[in-house]
Amino acid sequence: MRLLPVVVTVSLTVALAYYVYIPLPDAIQEPWKLMMLDAGFRTTMHLASLKSWLGFDHYITSIRRSSDGFEGMMKGLSSSESGAGGVMPGVKVSDITFAGVPVRVYEPPAGGEGHLRRGLMFFHGGGWALGSAKKGSYDTINQMLSDELNTVVVSVEYRMYPEVHFPVPYLDCLAAAKHFLSPEVQARYAVDPERVAVAGDSAGGNLAAAVAQEISIDDTMSVKFSVQALIYPVLQALDFNTPSYLQNQNIPILYRHLMVRFWLQYLGADLSLQSQLLANNHSSLHLSNITPELRARVDWTVLLPPKHKKNYRPLIVEKGSQGAGKEVPGLLDVRASPLLAGPEVLAKCPRAYILTCEYDVLRDDGLMYARRLQDAGVTVTHEHYVDGFHGCFTFITWPMEFDVGKRALRGYLNWLQNNL
């Protein structure tokens, strides 16, 4: 009988290790920390799906509640560890609305009379369904930016799935951006109209790119964004078989199937179409509305450098599901897929900073956009982290801090310091 507790303990330990362990590339540093983080995220997803199946709650709502609890616990641990909450004491934080859209405004310590400050509008990531402008690393990063760069930062709390889907999040961000860029608001916050940026990570990078495009071609706007900073942005939904989607399909924390699910949710499509999109059946050659010109704008065989194409081959479907393409509204809308914008639009876009990570399904979206912007005559700074993975930019606080995340954040801040 004495062996029973030992057997049970060993069995549970092996089961836990089996659940947590996933093979990771050697280049990823601190692999076990990433495995633990991913295991926690997967567990949250599984429990949320179970609750949804049992009829208790929508699974996204459950994930949000779990995330809020986790962030509260981590904030308490971080405060105990550091002795402080990480708040920049000189930064004024206000929760207000811009054109009816909730925003959090960060104002740096007041400077001398007549000194204008930089301005930056930020859109958070989270698959257009998760995350918040007011919580976690986003709050910390924007306070740091405001303090270090003497910048008025506006972080937008746009509406998300399941409450809404495309184009509502985009329209919220666009409305807030136009309000921020108005001469009256620029004057109120003492922002230099020649030094205003738009930025975002992941789904927020998608929104930042789309808003930057729209503002750049809007002749009614007297003030426009000076630069755009896109952190591993998601930019297209036509090809889910790019080299980065295939190479990194099982690398945490953004799996290939999960990114497809986020797209279906955002575009208000049936989630049962996931397998069709994974097989590129939604963008087959027999769909006449996807013209050769549009296909060329996401042609990674031309747009990617050889070192990222490697030995992958494009998945071109001759005749896929006729319904798949038609049942995904907004699939070809440039407001949802900024990589589909024409060269005449890209040529008017502001200077760009694009951050990509080697072990990220979205790597090639960012690489292709950098190339297309450069081909259109836009100055682009591209920073690629060979040991980076999706989400690392926000993993900068104890206990889930990663060295690559801190380097990525510092690179972003340094570029804005020198270019905004």
- Active-site hit among 62, 137, 202, 216: 202
One-character DSSP codes across 182-201 = SHHHHHHTTEEEEEEEEEEE
Secondary-structure percent of the chain, ordered helix, strand, coil, rounded to 5 = 45, 15, 40
Q: Which one-letter DSSP state was computed for residue 126?
A: S
Q: Residue 6: is it exposed, middle or buried by C-beta count within 10 angstroms (0-12/13-18/19+)?
A: exposed
Answer for the pair 15, 9: CB distance below 8 angstroms, yes or no.
no
Residue in 385, 353, 358, 392 with CA at minimum distance from that of residue 369: 353
- Active-site hit among 147, 201, 239, 360: 360
Residue 301 CB: number of other CB atoms within 10 A? Answer: 12
Q: For this structure, is 67 an active site residue?
A: no
Q: For this structure, is 218 an active site residue?
A: no
Task: Provide the sign of the torsion angle of the four alpha carbons 186, 189, 192, 197, taken in this order.
Answer: negative
Q: Which residues pair with 227 in a beta bridge?
A: 197, 351
Strands 151-156 and 101-107: antiparallel
What is the rounded distance in angstroms from the CA atom of residue 354 to the CA atom of residue 324?
31
Q: For this structure, is 202 an active site residue?
A: yes
If you compute the radius of gyration of the chain from its CA atoms, what whole number of angstroms results? 22
Answer for the pair 259, 244: CB distance below 8 angstroms, yes or no.
no
The C-alpha angle with vertex 261 and arms to 258 and 264, in degrees rounded to 5, equals: 155
- The amino acid present at 311, given as its one-letter code, is N
Residue 328 CB: number of other CB atoms within 10 A? Answer: 22
Q: Which residues pair with 93 in a beta bridge?
A: 106
One-character DSSP codes across 323-359 = HHHHTSTTTT-TTT-GGG--HHHHTTSPEEEEEEEEE
State the catalytic residues: 202, 360, 390
